[in-house]
Structure 1
Amino acid sequence: MQTRVGVVGAGLIGRAWAIVFARAGVPVRLYDVDEQALAAARDALRHSLDDLAASGLIGAPQEVLSRIRFEADLTQAMADVDYVQECGPENLEAKRQIYVQLEAAVASTTILASSTSGIAASRFTDHLQHPERCLVAHPVNPPYLIPLVEVVPTPDTTEAVVERTLRLMEAVDQAPILVRREVQGFILNRLQGALLNEALRLFRDGYVSAADLDKTVKHGLGLRWSFMGPFETIDLNAPRGVVDYGRRYGPLYQAVDGERGGDDPWEANTLTRLDAERRHELPAAQLAERQAWRDRRLMALIAHQRALGND
């Protein structure tokens, strides 16, 4: 039997998830309480699918779009789906209410997965009759271009639900990872946060300009990290692997880590100065154009990786 998917929320992330599932041949019910949001979603999806086709990443855009059904009634949208991807507001109370409504609309075996960026699912599912089928499936925006999905079960989530979710993500060409226990921010945002915190401190304290900091990642770390992670990187950067690397460079990193204080690198003055440098590099009026450029570059990178048989 073919898997049927419901997506709750027709905003940026909900639309992106709809593309992920529909391009893999999965029927999608895209729900939003706002009918105008649904109408806008249809146009936005058509535009995104045309861009993907132009980059050679999908075949017929209209065929993909035809697999997405737009629904303004939650009960109709979720009546016979096997898996729900919730993309509602990043608000705890709102999610608790949405999940009560979802539980009333779906079968007891339907998986309820949240796209939340950092709220542990146990905080908005512990009041349900069947919390054991709930978990987080956190994407990276946009998931139809960046395939990582963080699958984060709650203490109540069954192993069967976790396995079904992992298999579904693999079947729709995502790259799922299992976060073994709930942790604030999950994995990606904790890693990203560590880099951002250090980047802001280096900028704030006058060691580097915003442009040169970005250049360091773009022309340095980012080149390797586009096809291997930090552990594989250090494993290959010493003659005898990670233990050898730790012996050589561990003391340096330990000393650097000890220099970091408990101060807040996100203070308003630092962000104001950073914004001034960024607006000098990229005026606010050009942000949308640059975002579209970013997505085209990602499409080109994915096409290149596919041609090389990226693993």
Structure 2
Amino acid sequence: MNDGQQEDIQALTRGRPVAIVGAGLVGAGWAVVYARAGLQVQVFDANPEITARVLPLIQGQLEGLQRHGLLREAPADVLARIRTVGTLAEAVQGVAYVQESVLERIDVKRPLMLELDALLGPDVVVGSSTSGIPGSAFALGLSISPRVLIVHPVNPPYLVPVVELVPSPETAPATVAFADALMQAVGQTVVHVKKEVEGFVLNRLQAVLLREAWALVQEGVASCEDIDKTVRDGLGWRWSFMGPFETIDLNAPGGVADYAVRLGPLYQRVAASREHEAPWDAALIGEVESQRRLLLSEAELEARRAWRDERLMALAAARHGG
């Protein structure tokens, strides 16, 4: 990030820090995003055990970024801009922006919004990291409501840049404009979700793929590993650098309309053949769990997550020309 970008970020935040409320994996990832961009970050979690783990976790993430040439400063210099605090009031003191990353539950988010309503100054914006709960479910009817919106990342946000901005019916246009500018300034790719819908865009797309994947296992069509291969070594190759509409636009001689004429009926028949009302039942979950644990034991999950992040860093370095 060059000096001009640093100046833009400081101007946007008026030289004030940002707060992270909720210091789990997503909150820690957001702390890296903001500190890497030069911002001071104040981190709070109601669970002291999570708070105690967050700085060592972030240090490891920063060291990984440095190994892949994705950090322009020493990890210690970035980490020095992040501090943990003991209370919510201390976390939001003097900030320009709050990134809420607490549990994905309305009964947790709503009380937090009530607390923030009593603590925040009149110009502080709040972005919620919720994966699919609309802001209208927990952030309406408060003095801060015009300054609250969904700012949904992909985990880890310091490696996967897309972020969805979803205003509630009470979110002010200026709040969306500020969040857009802030996200772009810290290196994220902004997607504007124009109306509230559960799951937003990313998780609605993912939900359709996952529903079909589980159903194919349930029906004995293919194993978990072969379905993963289909995405990993098939669809994912193109999807790593282009989306579904561009993919089909290039997959027929006459472009997207030609593709729709040629293959639209097939996709319509596939969709009509599948009912999506049944939940993933215990037997199906047990079967998928059994197949996955044969490939990767529970004890190996943490190491595999670290492997995933290393692969993402290598991909990020390649995409940035590193």
Tell me the TM-score range normalised by the shorter chain: over 0.9
Aligned partner of 1:100 among 95, 114, 122: 114
CA distance in 2, matches of 1:219, 1:3: 45
Aligned partner of 2:281 among 267, 270, 273: 267
AA partner of residue 159 (structure 2): L
CA distance in 2, matches of 1:184, 1:64: 35
Change in CA separation of 1:277 and 1:35 when aligned onto 2, cut-off 3 Å: closer
TM-superposed CA distance for 1:43, in Å, is: 1.3
Q: For 2:157, what is the secondary structure of its paired residue?
A: coil
Aligned to 1:23: 36
Q: For 2:321, what is the secondary structure of its paired residue?
A: helix
CA distance in 1, matches of 2:99, 2:23: 11
What TM-score, normalized by structure 1, do the two folds share?
Answer: 0.96
Name the structure, 1 or 2, with higher relative contact order (CA <8 Å, separation 6+).
2
What TM-score, normalized by structure 2, do the two folds share?
Answer: 0.92
Aligned partner of 2:205 among 191, 198, 205: 191
CA distance in 1, matches of 2:204, 2:295: 27
Post-superposition Cα deviations, 1:137-171, rounded to whole Å, max 9, x if no partner, equal 01111101111111100011111110110110010
Aligned to 2:235: 221
Aligned partner of 1:244 among 245, 253, 258: 258
TM-superposed CA distance for 1:282, in Å, is: 1.3
Aligned to 2:220: 206
Structure 2: where are the runs of 5+ without partners?
1-13
Two-structure CA RMSD over aligned residues (Å)? 1.3
Aligned to 1:132: 146
Aligned partner of 2:193 among 163, 168, 179: 179
CA distance in 2, matches of 1:34, 1:294: 27
Aligned partner of 1:143 among 137, 148, 157: 157
Indicate the larger mover: 222-231 or 77-86: 77-86
Change in CA separation of 1:173 and 1:3 when aligned onto 2, cut-off 3 Å: farther
Change in CA separation of 1:213 and 1:73 when aligned onto 2, cut-off 3 Å: same
Aligned to 2:123: 109
How many residue pairs end up in the alignment? 308
CA distance in 2, matches of 1:40, 1:285: 19
CA distance in 2, matches of 1:182, 1:265: 24
Aligned partner of 1:4 among 10, 13, 17: 17
CA distance in 1, matches of 2:86, 2:203: 32
Aligned partner of 2:315 among 286, 301, 306: 301
Matched, 1:52 2:61: no
CA distance in 1, matches of 2:240, 2:264: 24
CA distance in 2, matches of 1:96, 1:205: 40
Aligned to 1:63: 77
Post-superposition Cα deviations, 1:63-93, rounded to whole Å, max 9, x if no partner, equal 1111112111222221211111001121112
Aligned ranges 1:28-47 → 2 under 5 Å: 28-47=41-60
Indicate the larger mover: 265-274 or 130-139: 265-274
